[in-house]
Each structure stands twice: as structure tokens, then as C-alpha cells.
Amino acid sequence: MAVIPVELAGRGYQVHVGRDVIDRLGSLAAPFVRKSRLVVVADTNAWRHHGERFSQAAHSAGWAIALYEVPPGEGSKSWASLQRLTDWLLEQEVERGNHVFALGGGVVGDLTGFACAILKRGCGFIQIPTTLLAQVDSSVGGKTAINSSTGKNLIGAFHQPSLVLADLATLDTLPEREMRSGYAEVLKYGVLGDRAFFDWLQHNGSQVLARDPEALEYAVATSVAAKARIVAEDERETTGARALLNLGHTFGHALEAQMGFSDRLLHGEGVAAGMVLAARYSARRGDLGDSDASLITRAVEGAGLPSEIAALDMDTDGAELVTHMLHDKKMDAGTLPFLLLRSIGAAYLAKDVDLKDVAAFLDEQL
Ligand code: NAD
Ligand code: ZN
């Protein structure tokens, strides 16, 4: 069991990581529960597998449950589902001082978090992330959003949860491919800022993916601690520190967009391929040694994640991929900052990248 603090002035919170976190709901959530009925928003799959354990823990604490199920998939991060959810939360008489529980992956966390950000100008919420990606990334840091027809996550708010309960036993039922996709974000923390963690993952990554309890706990706790440090430094993405979390995401976003944000390429798969591209592009600029670039490629490959975009069969070219990057919201005053690497564990934001050069580089990779 690990407890990681997210230190934000006046609004800090804790992330509990372990296999029995849900079973301890009664004691962990008690400070946030004002009514004897918990208002729970849950992903259908997560609830099917883990709802009973959650209900038992709630019932032993003397709490009933009002449940709202969200169908799986990115489609649930829409205006229509936000409207349905906020209407339901109002029917449940959720007040500003109450907390809503979000149980599921990043989709449920982002949707519920945003609903709570705007419900009566902001009520509390508790994240219970049930995917690896949500445990190491989306449940921590307070970014909440839905998608618009123009792009992903374009309508949203910063709204921090009051508590995060990352129960590792929920990952027992996570499909293999989702597990690998989340692992890309774990690897990202090593590559962007922690060489020792990257080295540890080289030796223990297969145990993490096999859901070995000890390895998984160490990987999730280390990732959460890295995210917590960066979020504490730059809560609202204003100083640049938080931009580090986008390592692999500019390239990855272009790949995801080219695939139509579909199941053909999951977010973590795009990030994995994007990290390899960021590493190779850094090496091409002479910033990163070839041996570090190869180690990153091998770590991605070894996790069963895509490392070669040529193999993705995308029917595109470098110029088109760059156009997708320009539609990404991270663009700043006409320039596109790129997260590049000086070594494994040392990412930096390059603001002098020539997009024609990036397109030429991508053509070589395709
Ligand atoms: P997801 O929420 O779509 O879940 C993936 C799949 O796993 C779904 O089919 C879901 O039903 C299923 N599932 C969830 N928990 C399960 C369990 N324990 N057992 C079996 N199946 C389970 O996907 P995700 O990868 O968790 O999140 C992706 C979303 O997160 C995207 O919308 C992305 O934009 C967002 N995101 C947000 C942030 C942030 O900072 N807010 C960061 C990264 C990603
Ligand atoms: Zn990501």
C-alpha cells in the first residue's frame, strides 16, 4: 500500500495505491461523505467487474448507493452525455459540499470531473480509476473534459478531485491491450524525468504487464508520484513544467488523429509510437545519443507496443501528420513546441523546431 500526496496550496489530496483500497472505502472516504447515500458514476464494464466489491464496502460503512452507469467508449465524453449526467446529479440533489464518486477509466473520470466542475458551480468528486492509464495519469492532476466535434478534450475545466483511490485489483480484469496502452504512460515517466525508473522498467516491465502485485504497485506509485510532482509545480499548465507530461503526445496525437481516434490505435499506443519518434527526432538533431534512442525503441517494442509507424499501415505522409499536429490544442502563438530529449530522463521543450524538417523526418519513418 502506498499513499502519495498531491501538494497544492490549500487543496492538496491523497492518492492511495494498493490491492485493497476499495475494501477500505469506509475509512478512506468517510471524511468526504455527508449523506448516507453515495452518488456513484461508473463505467459499465468497471461496474460489472468491481461493483459488488465497491457496494459491499459501502454497505459495511452504512452507505447506500445511487448508481449512474456510463457506456464504455470515447463517445461518452460528449455534450449529450454530460447533459444527461448533470441532470441526473441534480435529481440526486448533489450539493456543492457533496462528493460524487467516479469509478472507471479516463472517460468516466474526465466526464464526471467536468460535470462536478460545473454542477452548482462546483461540487467535490473522488476518483476511483480502474484502468492503468487512469491510475497513473488521468485521475491525478485535475484536468477534466469532454470532446467537441472540432477535437478531443476541447471543452473542460481544471477541477481537482478530493481523493484518488487506485485499487490495483481492478486491473485484474482489464483487457491486455488496455493494460499495454496504460503502460506507455508509465514508461513515459521514466523517459521524461527518471532514468532509474526507466532502468527498473527495463528489468521489471514484463512483471508489471503480468500484473505482479509488487511490481505493479511500485510502477503505479512511482508514476503517480512523478505526476504529482509535476502537477504541484504547474497546476494549470502555465509555467511549462506540466508540458513535460506531453512527451510523445504531439507525434502520438497526429497518429491518433490520422487513425480517426479509433480502436485502430489506442491513446497509449499512439503515445508509445510518439515517444519513439520524439527520441529518433532528438537523435537526428544531435540532442540525444543513438544508444538512448534505441533503448527507448526496445522498451516500447518489449512491451508489445507499436514502435515503427511504417507497420501501422496508415496511408499518409509527413506533411499530413504535421497538419494534424497543428490542430492540437498545445499550439502556442504560431509555433509548435516539441518535447524532445537530451537523454533518457531529461526531456526539454524545444521551440525552434522547423515543421518542414519534421515532415521530412516522418516521411523517412513511414
Ligand atoms: P476508458 O475509460 O475508455 O477505458 C478503457 C476500456 O476499459 C473501456 O472499454 C472500459 O469500459 C474498460 N474498463 C475500465 N476499467 C475496467 C476494468 N477494471 N476491467 C475491465 N474493463 C475496464 O479509457 P482510459 O484509457 O482509461 O482513458 C482514456 C481517456 O482518458 C481519454 O478520453 C483521454 O482523453 C483521457 N485522458 C485524460 C487525462 C487527464 O489528465 N484528464 C490524461 C490522459 C487521458
Ligand atoms: Zn497521454
Same domain, 182 and 72: no
Same domain flag for 122 and 215: no
Instruction: Determine the atom of ligand 1 nearest the C-alpha atom of 49.
Output: 19
Does 128 share its domain with 239?
no
Question: 269: Cβ below 6 Å to ligand 1?
Answer: no
Task: Map grid coordinates 499512439 to a residue.
Answer: 270
Identify which of 181, 192, 220, 226 has the alpha carbon closest to the alpha carbon of residue 204: 220
CA distance 265 to 133: 15
For residue 333, pLDDT over 60 is answered with no
Helix (H, G, I), strand (E, B) or coil at 306: coil
CATH of the domain at 336: 1.20.1090.10
- Answer yes or no: do 17 and 108 share one domain: yes
Structure confidence at residue 327 (pLDDT): 80
Rounded CA gap, 355 and 231, in Å? 29
The ipTM of this complex is 0.99
Q: Whose CA is nearest to atom 12 of ligand 1?
A: 45
pLDDT at 90: 98
Q: Is 237 helix (H, G, I), strand (E, B) or coil?
A: coil
Boundary-marking domain end, from 153, 173, 193: 173
Rounded alpha-carbon distances, angstroms, from residue 311 to 123, 166, 266, 315, 366:
46, 34, 15, 11, 8
Task: Calculate mean pLDDT across residues 204-212.
Answer: 98
Domain boundary among 173, 194, 219: 173
Where a domain ends, among 157, 173, 189? 173
Contact 102, 112 (CB under 8 A): yes
Residues 215 and 129 both lie in one domain: no
Question: What Rg do the C-alpha atoms of the chain give, in angstroms?
Answer: 20
CB 103 within 8 Å of CB 42: yes
Residue 331: pLDDT band by 50, 70, 90 thresholds? low
Query: How far does the centroid of ligand 2 lie from the alpha carbon of residue 247, in Å?
Result: 9
Q: Which atom of ligand 1 is nearest to the CA of 171?
A: 18
- Annotated catalytic residue, options 49, 204, 237, 301: 237
C-alpha to C-alpha distances, 171 to 49, 63, 128, 177, 207, nearest whole angstrom: 10, 25, 12, 12, 14
Per DSSP, the three-state class of 296 is helix
C-alpha of residue 75 to centroid of ligand 1, in Å: 12
pLDDT of residue 36 exceeding 90: yes
Q: Note if 121 is an active site residue.
A: yes
- The CATH number linked to 77 is 3.40.50.1970
Domain of residue 165, residue span: 2-173
Bridge partners (DSSP) of residue 69 are 42
Q: Which residues contact 260 (CB under 8 A, 6 or more apart)?
A: none
My answer on whether 7 and 145 are in the same domain is yes
The pLDDT, as a whole number, for residue 150 is 86
Same domain for 7 and 30, yes or no, is yes
Measure the CA–CA gap between 359 and 354, rounded to whole angstroms: 9
Q: d(Cα 199, Cα 163) in Å, to the nearest integer?
A: 30
Q: For position 334, what pLDDT does the model report?
A: 59
- Whether residue 203 lies in the annotated active site: no
Query: Is residue 105 in contact with ligand 1, taking CB distance under 6 Å?
Result: yes
Ligand 1: does its nearest atom lie under 6 Å from the Cβ of 178? Answer: yes
Q: Which residue has the higher pLDDT, 7 or 239?
A: 7
Per-residue pLDDT reduced to its tens digit, 76-132:
999 999 999 999 999 999 999 999 999 999 999 999 999 999 999 999 999 999 999
pLDDT, the chain, mean: 96
Residue with CA closest to ligand 1 atom 4? 105
Residue percentage of the chain with pLDDT more than 70: 98
Ligand 1 touching residue 147 (CB < 6 A): no
Give the pLDDT of residue 330.
Answer: 57
CA gap 101, 82 in Å, rounded: 15
Residues 77 and 156 in one domain: yes
165 lies in the same domain as 190: no
Number of domains in the chain: 2
pLDDT in tens, 216-249: 999 999 999 999 999 999 999 998 899 999 999 9
Q: Identify whether residues 98 and 115 lie together within a single domain.
A: yes
Beta carbons of 154 and 327 less than 8 angstroms apart: no
Same domain, 164 and 286: no
Residues 189 and 110 both lie in one domain:
no
- Judged against a pLDDT cut of 70, whether residue 277 lies above it is answered with yes
Q: What number of other Cβ atoms are within 10 A of residue 51's Cβ?
A: 17
Give this prediction's pTM. 0.97
Task: Determine the distance separating the centroid of ligand 2 and the alpha carbon of 143, expressed in angstroms.
Answer: 12
- The runs of H, that is alpha helices, within 12-75 are 25-29, 44-60
For ligand 1, pick from 45, 140, 146, 186 the residue to mutate: most ligand atoms within 8 Å of CB: 45
